[in-house]
Amino acid sequence: MADVALRKVVKRYDDVEAVRGIDLDIADHEFIVLVGPSGCGKSTTLRMIAGLEDISDGDIMIGGDVVNDVPPKDRDIAMVFQNYALYPHMTVAENMSFGLRLKHYPKAEIKARVTEAARLLDITDLIDRKPKQLSGGQRQRVAMGRAIVRNPKVFLFDEPLSNLDAKLRVQMRIEIKKVHQKVRTTTVYVTHDQVEAMTLADRVVVMNKGRIEQIGTPNELYHKPATRFVAGFIGSPAMNFIPCRLEDVGGTLQIRLTDRIAFPLPPARAARYNALPRTDKLLLGLRPEHLTESHAHLEPGVETFDTVLDVTEPMGMETLVYFGLDGTPVCGRVNPNAGAKDGAPMRLAMDLNNMHLLNEETGVVL
Amino acid sequence: MADVVVGQASVTRSTGVRKRSSLRNAVKHKSTVAFLMTLPLIVLIAVLVLYPAVYSLHLATLSKSMTKFVGLGNFQFLFKRETFWLVVEQSCIFAITAVIFKALIGFIVAHFVHNIPAKGQRKWRGMLLVPWVIPPAMSTLAWLWLFDPSYSAFNYTLSFLNIGPVPWLGEASWARFSVILVNIWIGAPFFMIMYLAALKSVPDQLYEAAAIDGANWWQRIWYVTLPMMRNIIAITTLFSLIVTFANFDIVRILTAGGPLDQTHIFATWAFKVGIEGSDIPLGASVSLFMFPILAIAAIFILRDINKRGNEA
């Protein structure tokens, strides 16, 4: 087991820069998830750590040693691929033991390791089958088993759950978490699914256009996003961004959303935003769960307004409501018993204690 | 009266329904439909393959004048002739050596071509296919000139190295070498293109997984490429073995079986005995010998494919 460090790592394909100088420190035993939309450079980064792609510039270190020119087989890593990449002509046991056999481990040790990994992943009964005789979830377990038996310094997962159906994905997500709790190997996991990222990671690395947007624990990313990209990418349904401006009315700072709707900011927020120029084009960032139905007893900082709903989506435990504020589509989450109906007027409450204010041009959260 | 009429009508209707439903049942059986759709080809094969095969079986049992039934007489006669055993030996050497080298060269070249960037690859694929595309009779004629003892390009070039002149087609061992060489030249591109297709179908991630597992270049070929290509290799080898075994044009044009019948293979000797020697029944008997040998090879190779069928 080891820590992993990336220093100003760059990957260029001809004229295109896929990864634009990223720095990342991954501690020993840590579970790091790289997440971002397709083409953001997350898979390329993972493949550079694995040694499957050369790096154009910078350094990659595993366990303190620079591994830029070390071939994959000597990096002591194990990788789980999206399409499993199991050898179709080998049985499950042979697939899992292939790496050990190439390294001429004693037969007894190979057997012990394979048996232990199979037990851990609950695939003991499948050990003599060929990959074709397995379901998608079982293949994924075997691919993980192949990684575990090697007892490597680092596990690399390249979108391992993308080929599974939704139900199995949730199940395997829990399995992966359980396995990591048991083996505690440093793990780098790539996914485009922010739910996977949030649920699995010790820390999440959000990538966009070849750069790291933000690194943080799932809670940090959710509650304190650094940029508009992170704020919009993490969380489902996504955060609302409503154009707004700040104004001073009678000594209090207030936020104006439309000609009709303006609210005084809670004192803590007012103090934080007071220094901002009033002319800046701003965006109010508000998660749907902070736009709810109105109550009789509202906390300070929660303001109400009336709107007409465009569409409602009953989800069972909650109902999503969609409406427009001066043409900007906005989503809220209300209690299913609050009486939200398509096309009906409704009084909603906006919790400004949880608001974010963003600079519209730079996308930075202020 | 009215009742009877109604009864008749209902009877007709029910037979109609039964007929239609039996047709529908037949269509439901996919195998029936498949058989009907392949029927034209089956008929064609029966006319062009089965009939001549049965007819040659019949011919092989006749006397030289084709007037008397001699049973297995022709075969007994063949077994006693030294030339026949020479032909059996040469056919096996010719086919097996040629197929091994074609497969080997095809595999190596396919690897090289596979590693050429996609842009230049088409050009190379096209050029490397040329020997296989030219009608063999024509390219073999060109080889015949190259092998000419006195004026050929080969011996002329070798003369600068103070070697030769080599009797390419004049001496038994050299002639055997030459016919095999030409067969390899013509047939290797077929292996190359089949292996190239097989190589392209091996997912890159398998190689990446193997690289991470610690496999070196050779181990990647041995543990990933070859097992993934096994079925293609088996089928290509069988197909090539059949075609090479039944080869006629190369030997006929280069050596016509000579010197001293040393390069004859089944097809050329059958032609010599049957057509040139005017003993069609004996010629038919010779050509029939290819069948059991190839059948045994086919059974072995195809059985292996069936065994592995459920892997990939």
Phi, psi (degrees; rounded to nearest 5) at A106:
-65, 145
| Inter-chain residue contact B312 with A89, CB threshold 8 Å | yes
- CB < 8 Å to B223, chain A: 87, 98
For residue B214, which residues of chain A lie inside 8 Å, CB to CB?
A: 73, 99, 102-103
Q: What is the ipTM of this complex?
A: 0.81
Contact A311, A342 (CB under 8 A): yes
CB-CB contact of A254 with A297 (8 Å) = no
A83 touches chain B (CB under 8 A): yes
The pLDDT value recorded for residue B100 is: 93
Cβ neighbours, 10 Å, residue A27: 13
Task: List C-alpha distances in Å: A126 to A58, A109, A283, B150, B308.
Answer: 43, 20, 55, 69, 19
Residue in chain B nearest A97 by alpha carbon = B213
Which of A52, A76, A110, A146 would you mutate first to test chain B, the one with the most B CBs within 10 A? A52
- Give the nearest partner residue to A78 out of B208, B212, B312, using CB atoms: B212
Closest to A189 (Cα-Cα) out of A364, A32, A9, A37: A32
Residues contacting residue A50 through CB under 8 Å, at least 6 positions apart: A72, A75, A77, A79, A156, B208, B212
- Predicted structure pTM score: 0.77
CA distance A93 to chain B (A): 14
Would the CB atoms of B208 and A87 count as touching at under 8 Å? no
The nearest CA of chain A is from the CA of B220 a distance in Å of 11
Question: A327: phi > 0 → left, psi -120 to 50 → alpha, else beta; which?
Answer: left
User: Is A85–B209 a contact, with Cβ atoms under 8 angstroms apart?
Assistant: yes
Q: Give the model confidence (pLDDT) of B2-58 as tens digits.
A: 444 444 444 445 555 555 666 677 667 788 888 899 999 999 988 998 888 888 888
Distance, CA of B25 to chain centre:
40
CA A2-A7-A13 angle, 5° bins? 115
Residues from chain B contacting residue A79 (CB–CB below 8 Å): 208-209, 212
Residue pair A288/A355 in contact (Cβ under 8 Å)? The answer is no
Which regions in chain B score pLDDT beneath 50?
Answer: 1-12, 310, 312
β-bridge partners, B10: none
Name the residue among B212, B219, B230 with its Cβ closest to that of A72: B212
The sign of the torsion formed by the CA atoms of A199, A204, A206, A210 equals negative
Considering only the beta carbons, identify the residue of A77, A89, A150 that sits closest to B311. A89
Any idea which residue has 């409704």 for tokens?
Answer: A346
State the Cα–Cα distance between residues B118 and B33, nearest whole angstrom.
42
Do A163 and A187 contact (CB within 8 A), yes or no? no
Do the Cβ atoms of B205 and A85 come within 8 Å? yes
Cβ of B3: how many Cβ atoms within 10 Å?
7
Residue A78 forms contact with B (CB below 8 Å): yes
Strands (E), A150-261: 154-158, 186-191, 203-208, 211-216, 240-249, 252-256
pLDDT of residue B16: 52
pLDDT for A338 equals: 87
Among A52, A81, A88, select the one facing B312 at the smallest CB separation.
A88
Among A78, A85, A88, the residue with its CB nearest the CB of B208 is: A85
Chain A: residue whose CA lies nearest to B208: A52
Which pair of structure tokens corresponds to residue B284?
């038919």
Pick out chain A residues at pLDDT < 70.
1
Token pair of B210, please? Answer: 């193997």
Give the separation between CA A345 and CA B94, rounded to whole angstroms.
90
Residue from the list A88, A89, A98 with its beta carbon closest to the beta carbon of B213: A98
- For residue range B143-155, list pLDDT tens digits in order: 888 888 777 787 7
- Is residue A303 within 8 A of residue A352, CB to CB? The reply is yes
